[in-house]
Every structure is written in C-alpha cells, then in structure tokens.
Amino acid sequence: MAAPMLRWGCRGRRWALACVDGGSCHRRGAPTGSTSNRIRGQSSVAQQPLHTAQKPRKGEHKWAAVVGLEIHAQISSNSKLFSGSQVRFSAPPNSLVSFFDASLPGTLPVLNRRCVEAAVMTGLALNCHINKKSLFDRKHYFYADLPAGYQITQHRLPIAVNGSLTYGISAGKECGQVIPKMVRVKQIQLEQDSGKSLHDDLRSQTLIDLNRAEGQLRVDANISVHHPGEPLGVRTEVKNLNSIRFLAKAIDYEIQRQISELENGGEILNETRSFHEKLGCTVSMRDKEAKQDYRFMPEPNLPPLLLYDATSLPTGADPQQVINIDQIRETLPELPSVTRERLVQQYGMLPEHSFTLLNEVGLLEFFQNVMKETRAEPKKVTSWVLNIFLGYLKQENLAVSESPVTPSALAELLDLLDSRTISSSAAKQVFEELWKREGKTPGQIVSEKQLELMQDRGALEQFCYSVMKDHPQVVMDVKKGNPRAINKLIGLVRKATLNRADPAVIKEILEKQLSS
Amino acid sequence: MLARALWLGLRVPLGGPRGFTSKTDPQGSGRITAEVIEHLERLALVDFGSREAVARLEKAIAFADRLRAVDTDGVEPMESVLEDRCLYLRSDNVVEGNCADELLQNSHRVVEEYFVAPPGNIPLPKLDEQEPFPHS
C-alpha cells in the first residue's frame, strides 16, 4: 500500500482498510456463516486467473484461483480516529485511553480531520474514485478487546473505491527483466481498531490494553478456486500472516488445498483459517460459535461524511470544516509510477532499471546527485550505479546512506572515465580503492597508482611495433586469419604498457600496423 | 417495551410471504421458531426468558412488516436522521487520555493496569441444554 506507516496505533485508532484484489474481489465483512451466493452477488467477476494447477487430473479442467487481500494500515496522526487521545508506541497500558475509547456510556465519536485527509490521499495515490459522500456503520461482535460490542467502520459506502496499483515483478534472476502488473483496489475505508489482548493461559485469563492493537500493517487473504467461465468458488479467509513470505506460502498452500479437496469430491467451507508458520499449512479456526452475523447498522451518531472539490466547495465555509479533494491532490508527492516513467523518458533507461532505482531507499537520490555533477552519459551513470555501486552495497549489506562512496566521488570518477583519462578497468580499480574509506579522491588514487592512460599515441605505436617484432609467430597467426591471435597481441601490449593503454586504441593501432 | 406499547391497537396481518415471518412459520401466523430465538440470543446477548417476550417480539415484527405496504420505488432510503447535519471534523490534537487509574476502577478485576477478561468468549449453553423459559 502507498499509505505511509509511520506510527503505532492506539485503542480506537484510525485504520484505512484497503481491499486489494488481483482478480475478483472478496468483500470484507461477509460473515463466515453467510451463504456463498450473497458473496458472489457482491463481488465483481473474476478476470485474471492468478494460478493454474500444475497437473490437471480428474476432469482435465484448468483451475483458476481468485485472491483478495484485506490490508489494515494505521494512519500516521497525533490523535485517534474518533477521540483526542494520543497515538504513541509503547505507552503504559490503558494510558492513552479516553472515556470514549473505553466505551463508557454517553460518549460519542468525533471524527479526526487528519484521518480523513490521509484516507483521501491514499485513495488518490491508488487511483481510486473518491466518494464525495461516505457513511459510517457499526459492525457488531463480542470480544473483550471491543468494549462497545461493535466497531465503527464503513461497510455500505466507503470513502474511496475502484482503484488500482501498478507494480513490477522480476521475470528471472538472470535477465533482470521486470514485468509490469496491475492489481485492483476494491475499496478503502476508515475504521476503528480494537484493543490488544494478552492471553494468560496459565491463569486462564486475558489482559486487555485499550491503547492499541498489534502491528501497523496486517494482511488477511481471501482465497477461492474455480474453473474459468464458471461462477466463483466458496472463499476462505486466512489470518495470522506476519510477513510477505508467509502470505505467499499461505496462499499457495490454500489454493492447492482447495483444489485437492474439490477434486476429491469434497467441498470448501466458507470459514476462517489460520496460517501455521512452522507446518506451512492453513488450519481451520472454526469452533462451536462459528456463526458470525455482524448485524451491520448505520452509525447513528455520525452524519454522512461529505467531501468537496474546487467546483463544489461551499462559499463562506469554515476551511477547518471542509475537505477539498483537489487541494489534497496537490499536496501529493510525485507517485512512483510517474517517477519511473519520467526516468525512462529523461534518461533513456530501461523500465526495469527505473524499478530498481526506486526500490532501494536513497538510490534514486544518489543517482540524481551523480547526474548533477558528472558529464558522463546517463546510460553510463545508470550502469555504474545499478551494477557496480549497488553490487558493492549488496555484498556488504549496506544501505545507500551507509555508502563509503559519495555521489561527488562517483561523479568525479565517471568524469575521468568519460574524458578517457583512465580505462574502464582502471576505473573499477579506483572504485574499489574508494570503497576502502581512506579518504582519497579518485584523482589522488589515479595518480598514486599511475592508472592514467597513455596519452602519447606515438609512444603507444612504438610499443605495438616492438611487441609485434618480438612475437612474429603470433603476427603470422593474425595474418592467417585466427581471430583470437589479435587478443593475444593486445594482451602483450597491455602488459608492456603496465595496463596504461586503452585496449580499444591498442587494437586500432595494431590493426593499422598489421595491414600496412 | 416498544413492543408492549405498540401492540395495544395492532392489527396483525395474517399470511403473506412477507418479511421475517415468512421464514418462521409456513402457516403465516407469525410464529418464530426456537432456533431463531436461540440465534438472536447469541447475537445480541439478550434473554427472551418467557413466551410472553417472544410473543411481544412477534408482534413487533408484524408491526414493522407493515412498512412493506408502502411503495418506495425510486425513493432514496434515509440512512440517518442526521443526514442534513454537518459532520464535525476535529483537529488532530491530543486533548484527552491519561486517566488509566480512573478507568481501571470500573473493572471488577485488574492486573497491573490491564483489564482482566475471561480467556475467550464463553459460549452460551446449547438449546437442548437450556431449561425452557426458567422465568415464566
């Protein structure tokens, strides 16, 4: 998600819920006890099969899996979504709790302006349609960390819908090619978070802290399988996914489990499953109280949330009390997809390069700083930054900010290369020296190690001539038409010149001398 | 309470496959089955306790069903009686909290500034395990 996750949440925190799907959608909030028909009616048609079974068995029909992700992200703000208590990480239990957060009778929710702005920004960044009118609802269920007995959410009409996110996946380790992909965002909604439960199994009790819930970013996956062209299958919801890696594992497992189950004549239950990390499988969470009916109803204490744009802004309105979508759009920074496109256009780099530049924190800035200070061609700079510089960083597991080589140093080095003061291999040597953090500039290293290319063409011609004279049999091989022989000659000249000659120039001189 | 006030002058429409009553009793007399009562009791944690309470519920449903007689084609539903009000937007400032001691006094059991709750939701006894209407 594009939403920045900067701070931890507290009880009653704001969470923007983004329902992201790669194919059809599985709407959040459908109770586990509901019929699958109702879910199908609400979801859009699957269009993009994400996975097909490797070996078609019975029936020989291909399977298509449909996956929907439900992402909970905390908004960065000073106070909570519906109350003025603080948002802070690691506070003493129940110290950031107001009377409303504790659900004391007579308290009312008061919406935080900053949270609405954040939700609108997120919606705009994800290409959503922003609903100028959205509604709050109550979702009822009983649990000790939800003292009100319900959660305020946006079930019927959320703040943003129908967005998309483009991203890239690497095609293969070798070619480094990046394939652009797009995922649909079904909706983004503002909602409260529940408190935190600490289970004390020893004393058979649960300790409740109404400050916050666990984690700043949580994902649940909804998975179903079907044959393309047929109606969607029954979905299961998989929870307890603590990393991207486990998310992928859980989805893969669940898809296979559902396919096996159905191919063996079984059926899929609309249920919630938990991912068991060690076993790498999903386990049913059903218990006797499985029937879950959230009894959604409009939140009676909150009027509809109205948003405006430049054209619909009411005149003479208190600016504190109105939210202008157009104004918020202007505060958005350049989005990654736009930056990538700009890099490709401006510097002529390949799309996969633009992905790499943006995927590493600080790398784009580094690249741009080098570009500012060097005369070298963008393609050269790109190649050096993405291959050599990034390679060294990765080898030592360093962040860009920890790099011993500054953009200025690399720029100076590339200038030396560009002006043909040094050869490409000499440049790599200099880079290695720079990485040692000895505080020397590229210029200093070049002169210390005498890496300057010979500029005297006459002297170089002399070297070539003497090498050819000393190795007549190699010269014969070249004249016979052996393609490798000339490389041998070049190597000999390079050795003779202590590697201070440009191999390309050597070759050119040799060829000229051989033909005469 | 609502049901009691309303059933004084009520004409209960019989029959017709309308609303909730249609699922509960094929004869259309507005009876609600024991399964539905059990379901409602679990959902809302209310205790219907007596046949009289169930009858009151049936009458309340029948009363509400009369809404279906109104033609609402093309009419936008009213979601909230507040729909003409402005939703007040609060500035993002910290103005409350820091009253753990006060709040914890409300709790029967407390452990080191945490509220104490049972280990999980305690399931209600099943229908057949319950005594039918202990307080009739």
Distance in Å, alpha carbon of B38 to nearest chain A alpha carbon? 12
Summarize pLDDT for B67-111 with one digit per residue, the tens. 899 999 999 888 788 888 889 999 999 999 999 999 999 998 999
Distance in Å, alpha carbon of B109 to nearest chain A alpha carbon? 10
> Cβ separation of B100 and A206 shorter than 8 Å?
no
Summarize pLDDT for A157-172 with one digit per residue, the tens. 999 999 999 888 877 7
Paired tokens of A501: 């000659």
Region A36-41 average pLDDT: 26
Q: Which of A79, A113, A115, A318 to mutate to test the interface with B (most CBs of B within 10 A)?
A: A79
The pLDDT-based confidence of A129 (bands split at 50, 70, 90) is very high
Q: Which residue has the higher pLDDT, A348 or A33?
A: A348
Residue A174 pLDDT: 61
- Within 8 A by CB and 6+ apart from B52, the residues are B136
Residue A93 pLDDT: 94
CB-count exposure of residue A222 (10 Å: 0-12, 13-18, 19+): buried
Instruction: Say if B42 is an interface residue toward chain A (CB within 8 Å).
Output: yes
Of A299-303, A361-365, A442-446, B15-19, minimum mean pLDDT range = B15-19
- Within 8 A by CB and 6+ apart from A59, the residues are A263
Q: CA A140 to CA A155: how far, in whole Å?
A: 12
Q: pLDDT > 90: what percent of chain A? A: 53
> Cβ separation of A98 and B97 shorter than 8 Å?
yes
Residue A23 pLDDT: 35
Q: CA A224 to CA A497: how far, in whole Å?
A: 69
Of A38-52, A111-125, B79-93, minimum mean pLDDT range = A38-52
Residue A288 pLDDT: 46
Give chain B's radius of gyration (CA, Å): 22
Give yes or no for residue A35 having a pLDDT over 50.
no
Summarize pLDDT for B10-63 with one digit per residue, the tens. 333 333 333 444 444 444 456 788 888 888 888 888 888 888 989 999 999 999
Give yes or no for residue A407 having a pLDDT over 80.
yes
Report phi then psi at A67, rounded to 5.
Answer: -125, 130
The pLDDT-based confidence of A464 (bands split at 50, 70, 90) is confident
Region A447-472 average pLDDT: 86
Residue A3 pLDDT: 27
> Cβ separation of B45 and A142 shorter than 8 Å?
yes
Give yes or no for residue A236 having a pLDDT over 90.
yes
Summarize pLDDT for A53-111 with one digit per residue, the tens. 344 445 557 999 999 999 999 999 999 999 999 999 889 999 999 999 999 999 999 99
Contact list in A for residue B116 (CB cut-off 8 A) is 205-208
Residue A458 pLDDT: 86
Report phi then psi at A171, rounded to 5.
Answer: -75, -40
Hey, how many other C-beta atoms are within 10 angstroms of the C-beta on A430? Answer: 25
Residue A265 pLDDT: 93
**Strand ranges, E, within A418-465:** none
Contact list in A for residue B93 (CB cut-off 8 A) is 78-79, 84
First-residue to last-residue Cα distance in chain A: 67
Class of domain A457-515: mainly alpha
Instruction: Say if B128 is an interface residue toward chain A (CB within 8 Å).
Output: no
Q: CA B27 to CA B21: how far, in whole Å?
A: 10
Q: Which residue has the higher pLDDT, A130 or A286?
A: A130
pTM to 2 decimals?
0.72
Contact list in B for residue A84 (CB cut-off 8 A) is 90, 93-97
The pLDDT-based confidence of A10 (bands split at 50, 70, 90) is very low
Cβ–Cβ < 8 Å for A12, A100: yes
Region A479-502 average pLDDT: 84
Q: Which of B88, B114, B129 to mutate to test the interface with A (most CBs of A within 10 A)?
A: B114
List the domain boundaries for chain A. 64-287, 336-449, 457-515
Give yes or no for residue A408 having a pLDDT over 60.
yes
Instruction: Say if B114 is an interface residue toward chain A (CB within 8 Å).
Output: yes
Hey, how many other C-beta atoms are within 10 angstroms of the C-beta on A161? Answer: 18
Q: Which residue has the higher pLDDT, A11 or A431?
A: A431
